[in-house]
């Protein structure tokens, strides 16, 4: 039995988790509460199966649970970064991704570096899976990639290096236009991309409080925070 808490899972022996262990379950934690992931109900998908689904345009989302620097070096085509560290320490930066995941009906494929079929060995993808279960995402919508990213890359499957866009041309004005927030240009005219990046990395609540000092109304503050979080994930803020 593994309890997902802190940065890495560790073994515990109290009665609640012992009972889950007897039932063949894993226990994960997102907000400090336990989540049972019955081993028999955790689905797996092979690299070949995932490749086929991606080529056919199947309705699914691929989630990379590794660290951001690993994601930037190379990932699976169409994968979105949803790292364990971001969920633990900077949830505001992935709030938009979480909203999309919890409101869509698409299947999800999660992966970290390694994962073996038939093994519930601790992995960052399993931690993220437990987190999503706590948010209400059905376990039946999710699959783990057998072999993880290491298995994917060593089997000859395509590895993509994410393209990171930066502000160009109109800079902040272009960004606000694309985010449909052109009305905020005057309020943010003295901001730099470096400062906006620092604001969003400080966390969603602090970012919203900062934007309030700019006399930006609440709906626009929330929309701006989402747009900046997405821009940060895509490397637009440097």
What does the domain layout of the chain look like in residue ranges? Answer: 41-154, 172-233
Q: Are 82 and 65 within 8 A, CB to CB?
A: yes
Q: Which 3 state secondary structure label does DSSP give 234?
A: coil
Mean pLDDT for 43-69 is: 89
**How many Cβ atoms sit within 10 Å of the Cβ of residue 7?**
12
Please give the pLDDT value at position 182.
Answer: 86
* DSSP E strand boundaries for 18-96: 25-29, 34-38, 43-45, 60-64, 80-81
The pLDDT of 44-71, averaged and rounded, is: 89
User: Whole-angstrom Cα distance, residue 198 to residue 202?
Assistant: 6
Amino acid 110: pLDDT: 95
Lookup: tokens for 155: 């089997």
Q: 196: closest CA among 186, 168, 206? A: 206
- Report the chain's mean pLDDT, rounded to a whole number: 76
**Class of domain 41-154 (CATH, top level):** alpha beta
For 99-114, what is the mean pLDDT?
A: 87
| CB within 8 Å of 14: residues ≥ 6 apart | none
Q: Which one, of 15, 96, 157, 201, lies nearest residue 1 by Cα?
A: 15
Helices 95-103, 218-233: crossing angle, 10 deg rounding? 100
Over residues 185-213, mean pLDDT: 83
CA 16 to chain CA centroid, Å, is 29
- Rounded to two decimals, the pTM is 0.58
Strand 25-29 vs strand 34-38: parallel, antiparallel, or unpaired? Answer: antiparallel
Q: What is the C-alpha separation between 148 and 68, in angstroms, rounded?
A: 16
């Amino acid at each position: 039995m593994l309890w997902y808490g802190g940065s890495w899972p560790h073994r515990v022996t109290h009665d609640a988790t012992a009972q889950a262990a007897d039932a063949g379950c894993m226990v994960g934690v997102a907000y400090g509460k336990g989540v049972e992931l019955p081993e028999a109900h955790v689905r797996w998908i092979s690299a070949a199966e995932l490749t086929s689904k991606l080529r056919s345009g199947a309705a699914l989302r691929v989630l990379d649970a590794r660290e951001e620097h690993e994601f930037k070096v190379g990932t699976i085509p169409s994968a979105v970064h949803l790292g364990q560290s971001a969920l633990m320490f900077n949830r505001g930066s992935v709030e938009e991704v979480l909203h999309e995941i919890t409101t869509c009906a698409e299947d999800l494929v999660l992966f970290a570096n390694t994962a073996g079929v038939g093994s519930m060995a601790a992995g960052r993808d399993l931690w993220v899976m437990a987190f999503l279960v706590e948010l209400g995402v059905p376990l039946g919508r999710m699959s783990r990639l057998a072999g993880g990213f290491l298995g994917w890359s060593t089997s000859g499957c395509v590895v993509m290096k994410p393209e990171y866009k930066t502000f160009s041309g109109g800079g902040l004005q272009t960004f606000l236009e694309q985010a449909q927030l052109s009305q905020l240009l005057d309020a943010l005219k003295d901001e730099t991309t470096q400062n906006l990046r620092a604001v969003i990395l400080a966390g969603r609540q602090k970012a919203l409080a900062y934007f309030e000092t700019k006399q930006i109304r609440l709906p626009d503050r929330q929309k701006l925070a989402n747009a900046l979080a997405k821009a940060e994930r895509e490397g637009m803020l440097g």
